[in-house]
Amino acid sequence: MKKLCLIVLCLMVAVSGLVFARGSSQGGASGATYIPLVSKGFQHQFWQAVKQGADNAARDLGIEITFEGPESESQVDKQIEMLQTAMGKNPAALGFAALDSRAAIPLLQQAKDRNIPVIAFDSGVDSDIPLTTVTTDNKAAAALAADKMAEAIGGSGKVALIVHDQTSRTGIDRRDGFLEQMKKYPNIQVLETQYGGGDHLRSTEIAKAVINGNSDLKGYYGANEGSAIGVVNAVNELGLAGKIVVIGFDSGKLQLDAIKSGLMYGAVQQNPVLMGYKTVESAVKALKGESLPKIVDSGFLWADKSNLTNPDVAAVIYE
């Protein structure tokens, strides 16, 4: 009887190990469990910080990951190709940050049909396929940016905003969170939202055109790293440093330098390293059969010249 129990126990352990390692033979060169992460981009320092967190988790949990994204955050088709390639490697699980909240749903449905757990990060999709979404509360973070803007311009005047896109969940929420919060300040006029694709050169040209067309502009909000740098460049090139309040999103060396110099008033900070870590950690939990919350909040806070050295702030900024 004891021998029979031992055999059953060994079989249970073996089956459990096979479930956890599913997909590792093709995707993981080392034979480890393989989890690809397909990001919205790779050119911004934000995504490098997310990758750092994901790499940390992979090391701690003993798995293999890859992390990639298109050159530009406007390349939805390129991202879909990357997602398709990642799925072709028979991964154990999948991390995905959608550039378009709907475009990838057919592929994600294929992943679900193949029992590949999908973990969304940064920007979710309009579907319940992802078991969880590791993200910032972007509407609340954008509302904080609006409050800081209102405070900085004295509660009245004209402000503009440039957003990375109107298709991703982050773009939509960082736009709507800002606009909805601004309704609480009736003496502030908000110009029509502009979209720069997260590209700092394109965003610079858009911001310059808006500023030149609105000589009484008091504030400008950039909803991601590329957008914010575009605004900073525009203000600097037009010789208006200190005359327009610039508020951004995320950090990176250029934004931090702008905050330190006074060119930028401040920026909402996410926690990209934690976001990357939690994405991989959530994927591993899913493979083990653990239940996950629908949202894993990776947090945010405000950073300006007065608190950059604060330990809480210093822990999440990157350059």
DSSP type of residue 271: -
Q: Check if the beta carbon of residue 87 is closer than 8 Å to that of residue 110.
A: yes
* 10-residue stretch averages of pLDDT, the chain, 319 residues long: 41 40 47 93 88 97 97 93 96 97 95 97 94 96 98 98 95 97 98 96 98 98 96 97 96 94 96 96 98 96 96 90
Residue 19: the pLDDT is 40
From residue 216, alpha-carbon distances to 11, 157, 288 in Å are: 74, 8, 57
| Distance, CA of 3 to CA of 232 (rounded, Å) | 72
Domain 138-269 falls under CATH 3.50.50.60: no
- Nearest 5°: phi and psi at 142? -70, -35
Residue 289: the pLDDT is 97
Residue 6: the pLDDT is 40
Record the pTM: 0.83
pLDDT tens digits for range 44-89: 889 999 999 999 999 999 999 999 999 988 899 999 999 999 999 9
Instruction: Name residue, tokens 């822990």.
Output: 315
248 DSSP β-pair partners: 267
| Among candidate residues 89, 135, 126, 133, the one with its CA nearest the CA of residue 111 | 89
Residue 10: the pLDDT is 41
Residue 16: the pLDDT is 40
Domains 27-136+272-299 and 138-269 share a fold: yes
Q: Where are the domains of the chain?
A: 27-136+272-299, 138-269
CATH topology of domain 27-136+272-299: Rossmann fold (3.40.50)
